[in-house]
Structure 1
Amino acid sequence: MSTGSNGARRIASLLRPRFDAAVCRSCQETIGRRNYASAAAEPTTTSSDPSSTSPVVQPAYTINAGVVLSRPPVITRDLEPFEKAFYLYQKRLNERQALPFTKYFYFKRGTPLDEDWKKKIQERQTPARDIGKYNAYAPDAWNDELLLGAKEAEPEYQVEMLVRDAESTANATSQDTSKKEEIPRPHPRVTEADKKGDQKSLNRLLSRTLYLLVQSKGGQWRFPQSQIATGETLRQAAERTLFESAGKNMNTWMVGYHPFGHFVRNIKPRANSKTGAENLGEKTFFLKSRIMAGQADLSANLHNLADFKWLSKEEISKFVHPQYYSQIKNMLADR
């Protein structure tokens, strides 16, 4: 092998990025491909002839900063039918095992308290009325499984029965019989905004992640974005974009300094009248952000926006262009 060939290989090995031995080859290739710029890309000029005085302007993309502003889930997700039936089965199994211990541990046989307990058990059939009429000592006590869709398996039904049972116990033991005791119900999982279909409200789809989507006056829906200014970092551009698009009446938190996704829109190359460079389209790099309080306000926006919505992942697919959604869908949480 020639000396010149060895020298070329040595230079290539020095220029090749170095990775830890624990990083697999696939990850090394991925890391090598995803070198995001943090400032606006300027058209580069090169000269094919060193003696030439007119440089050659290379084609370039317009670099944008985008913000994926989200409101995380507020409550736990809805249970699947199998999960509802399973939790109820575990509850009944626990009651069937704990019922004999509870009775004879706290109340001695033949005492007034024991007789009072027997009377209450006969009236209520079970110490937990949230699962309906169920007697753990009956001949068919083994048959404690529910059919799919039974109302006793619904958490809302169980909560209502528990509250009613607590109210009846409080009223039976209350010294003041002139006033009926009322126990506050938990807030419903379905809000007024859900019932009205108000997609501008943050008080909807409480078990899902919502994302801020804005609409231009031309009718295009997308995440807030704007072109990065010269000398501006990606995070600075994202913070400015969010402020100029959705106003100052929001308390937000920018999660990091680096993008977690990008969108590329290619167009037919056309020359810029000022620089002479060919514009190939735009590349938008998205930063993740969270809303802590407040609401979007487009009244004084600087990006020609007409409307906004708070949408889940599935709802976003109905508003944005299919090509746009195909490149952003993996950035969005399924829940």
Structure 2
Amino acid sequence: GQRHQDSDRKRHRRGVGTRKAKEFQPASRLTDADVRGDKRSTERLLDHPLLLVVNQRLGNGHRWILPQTVHTVGETMRQTAERALAEVCGSGLEVRFLGNAPAGCYKYRYPAEFRKDGIVGAKVFFFKAQLQGGSLLADSLKKLDRASDFEWLTQTELESRMLPKYCQSVKSFLMSTEKMDCQHLLDKIESSVKRRSQHITPELDTKTKATEAVKV
């Protein structure tokens, strides 16, 4: 009698779980920011990593770039990067800088009228940082008078704002998640799980064996 009761309870639990699974409706990835086309919001394109880009004043004009400032003697490069974010965007963003070494570099030449004392150009070093919290508002940005606007952009959207060579330098240190074939990756994982469950070791073809031999 006890065995039948336990079996009935298990079937009941499975039935409840099945009903809940069928009733579950995943939340839409389309947010209000997507509907409005609001590129100042981090709540847009939830399945894409976003990068903070500012329309910063450089010389007599403005350029869409990553927040930057001039290095001061005595500072580490990371300290300069931290100061750049604070000077351009204020203290409203809570971020975590990743590492003490730059992730990338962009070199450019000054216009002829700005070259002096043998200095013909400059290097901009990029640091990676992750947003942990806080927010950035357009009014707060403008009060600092270093940039006129900002946007949170995907990698493909950078091309519409940045100069080509600068954009290429930025993209060179970003993980290209937008070109990743997610379905192919999922298929490989599923195939690997099936082989392991059946205790099957996949055979390598001649080309693969040769490649592995070279790696060793």
Range of TM-score over shorter length: 0.5 to 0.7
Secondary structure in 2 matching 1:316 = helix
Tell me how far apart the structure 1 counterparts of residues 19 and 62 of structure 2 sit (CA, whole Å).
Answer: 54
Alignment CA distance shift 1:281-1:207 (3 Å): same
Deviations 1:304-330 (A, max 9, x none): x10000001001111101111122211
Asked whether 1:214 is paired with 2:54, we answer yes
Alpha-carbon distance, 1:334 to partner: 2.0
Tell me how far apart the structure 2 counterparts of residues 288 and 244 of structure 1 sit (CA, whole Å).
Answer: 17
Alignment CA distance shift 1:188-1:314 (3 Å): same
TM-score by length of 2: 0.66
Unaligned runs of 5+ in 1: 1-104, 108-113, 115-126, 131-158, 165-184
Deviations 1:263-295 (A, max 9, x none): 0012355543xxxx1221110011111111111
Deviations 1:232-275 (A, max 9, x none): 22111111110011111111111111101000012355543xxx
Asked whether 1:163 is paired with 2:31, we answer no
Match of 1:331 in 2: 173
Asked whether 1:291 is paired with 2:134, we answer no
Tell me how far apart the structure 1 counterparts of residues 122 and 27 of structure 2 sit (CA, whole Å).
Answer: 46
Say if 1:213 and 1:311, in contact at 8 Å, map to a contact too: yes
Say if 1:247 and 1:300, in contact at 8 Å, map to a contact too: no
Tell me how far apart the structure 1 counterparts of residues 52 and 133 of structure 2 sit (CA, whole Å).
Answer: 13
Match of 1:306 in 2: 148
Matches within 5 A, 1:228-243: 228-243=71-86
Tell me how far apart the structure 2 counterparts of residues 271 and 198 of structure 1 sit (CA, whole Å).
Answer: 40
Alpha-carbon distance, 1:225 to partner: 0.6
Matches within 5 A, 1:67-216: 106=7, 162-163=22-23, 185-216=25-56
Asked whether 1:256 is paired with 2:124, we answer no
Alpha-carbon distance, 1:216 to partner: 2.7
TM-score by length of 1: 0.43
Asked whether 1:265 is paired with 2:108, we answer yes
In the alignment, residue 327 of structure 1 is paired with which amino acid? Answer: S
Match of 1:226 in 2: 69
Detail structure 1 runs of 4+ shifted over 4 Å in the superposition: 127-130, 268-271
Tell me how far apart the structure 2 counterparts of residues 330 and 271 of structure 1 sit (CA, whole Å).
Answer: 28
For the pair shown, the structure with the greater C-alpha radius of gyration is: 1
Secondary structure in 2 matching 1:307 = strand
Tell me how far apart the structure 2 counterparts of residues 271 and 286 of structure 1 sit (CA, whole Å).
Answer: 23
Sequence identity of aligned pairs in percent? Answer: 31
In the alignment, residue 75 of structure 2 is paired with which amino acid? Answer: E
Alpha-carbon distance, 1:199 to partner: 0.5
Secondary structure in 2 matching 1:284 = strand
Match of 1:321 in 2: 163
Bigger relative contact order (CA 8 A; separation at least 6): 1
After superposition, the CA RMSD in angstroms is: 2.9
Secondary structure in 2 matching 1:331 = coil
